[in-house]
Structure 1
Amino acid sequence: MTVTARLDLAIFDAVDIDKVGSFYAELAGWDSVRQDPDRFGVRTPDGQEIEFQRAPDHVGPRWPGQEHPQQFHLDLQTDDPQAQAERAVALGAVRLADGPTWITLADPAGHPFDLCQADGVGPVMRLFAVTIDAPDASALARFYASLTGMEVTYDGPEGALVAGGGKNLMFQQISAYNPPRWPDPAYPQQAHLDLLVDDLDAGETQALELGARRLRAGGERFRVFTDPAGHPFCLIR
């Protein structure tokens, strides 16, 4: 099957996009590259971008349960997670839990993120991966690898990793997984992926053959789907 989609970026929902976007720019040392009434974008030194989309009715996740699940989170690498966690709290984050080599916090919009120990990163944090919850992490990793041409570089009991073009997507195995049911506000999405295609019809055909489902949303330049785990994503021409 010809590869038609290219991973562009992850977009997180938030009420106050200026607050959460500025939080990541300040904490991670990333550049603010888009700031308009609907989107706030930040860019890492290696060219990866994360955006925050204005969602006036957004209700944040309540980590770690599945009643109001996180669905997506960011894994950020830093030389000193402890010091950076203290900075994050001062900037408006909430500390949630400490792991062996990482610290989990919630950003000002309520989205969890991990500060992960990695030597030699320097003063600007590295975006290691956008991590996506799944009831079958291995299967969801294969779906996105097939759709984008990225490669499954790790597949284990706790999750799977796909990589390509300098970007990583991690899929985390979640028991009692509770999917979003976009656009139902009772089961909201927390984030979604934008994938670029040269041909929307060809992209849709490939996505559907791989197990995606088309939603009744979109326009001339984009179409909205759900992946096999129920996460919405957009194909954009």
Structure 2
Amino acid sequence: MSGYPVLLHTAIDAQDCRGLAEFYRELLGLHYRDGEDPPTDGSPDDADWLVLLDDGGNRVVTVQAKEETTPPTWPSEEVPMQMHMDFQVPTVEDLERHREHAEALGARVLYDRSKDEGEPLYVLADPAGHPFCLLVQ
């Protein structure tokens, strides 16, 4: 164990906790922590904190329900971005594939720098309005 704190996960606020968790689950190929899958018996989904794990069981993203949220207006500073996540992909072809997938899941493109030869990227907003980047590394 190091002498430094270790990042456990990134927590994101959203009015629709399950909806945003589903977006990141599908986008990143994650799964819910045991007991947090959506109800299948018709009961209401009252989730207010959901943890998404990778295949190794590591926490990656959590989504917390918040009634009052205002989506960032990036690139405008009217409502500043409080955080963002960067996701790397290996090729420009993968960049396009993952952008299309993100859009199909409800993301929208905020900035297109996909033709940049040094570091092609897209800035997208998730369904709750939080910006994130897809970039070739």
Structure-2-length-normalised TM-score: 0.76
Counterpart pick for 2:30 among 139, 143, 150: 150
The one-letter code sitting in structure 1 at the alignment partner of 2:75 is P
Structure-1-length-normalised TM-score: 0.46
Once the two structures are TM-superposed, the CA of residue 201 in structure 1 deviates from its matched residue by 1.1
- Write out per-residue CA displacement over residues 62-87 of structure 1, whole angstroms, 9 at most, x where no aligned residue: xxxxxxxxxxxxxxxxxxxxxxxxxx
Question: Which residue of structure 1 lines up, in the alignment, with residue 40 of structure 2?
Answer: none
Question: Which residue of structure 2 lines up, in the alignment, with residue 226 of structure 1?
Answer: 125
Separation (CA, whole Å) in 2 of partners of 1:163 and 1:207: 19
Separation (CA, whole Å) in 2 of partners of 1:191 and 1:125: 19
- Partners of 2:51 and 2:59 within 8 A in 1: no
Do structure 1's residue 169 and structure 2's residue 61 form an aligned pair?
yes
Separation (CA, whole Å) in 2 of partners of 1:224 and 1:161: 24
Runs of 4+ in 1 over 4 A off after TM superposition: none
Counterpart pick for 1:200 among 95, 118, 137: 95
- Write out per-residue CA displacement over residues 165-197 of structure 1, whole angstroms, 9 at most, x where no aligned residue: 534211110002211111111111011011122
Asked which structure has the greater CA Rg, the reply is 1
The one-letter code sitting in structure 2 at the alignment partner of 1:157 is A
- Write out per-residue CA displacement over residues 118-150 of structure 1, whole angstroms, 9 at most, x where no aligned residue: xxxxx5433222111111111111101101111
- Partners of 1:129 and 1:167 within 8 A in 2: yes
The 3-state SS of whatever aligns with 2:77 is coil
**Of the two structures, which has the highest relative contact order with CA contacts closer than 8 Å and spacing of 6 or more?**
2
Question: Which residue of structure 1 lines up, in the alignment, with residue 107 of structure 2?
Answer: 212
Separation (CA, whole Å) in 1 of partners of 2:48 and 2:24: 18
Question: Which residue of structure 2 lines up, in the alignment, with residue 135 of structure 1?
Answer: 15
Once the two structures are TM-superposed, the CA of residue 223 in structure 1 deviates from its matched residue by 0.8
The one-letter code sitting in structure 2 at the alignment partner of 1:226 is A
Give ranges in structure 1 of 5+ residues lacking alignment.
Answer: 1-43, 46-122
Question: Which residue of structure 1 lines up, in the alignment, with residue 73 of structure 2?
Answer: 181
Separation (CA, whole Å) in 1 of partners of 2:105 and 2:132: 14
Give ranges in structure 2 of 5+ residues lacking alignment.
Answer: 38-45
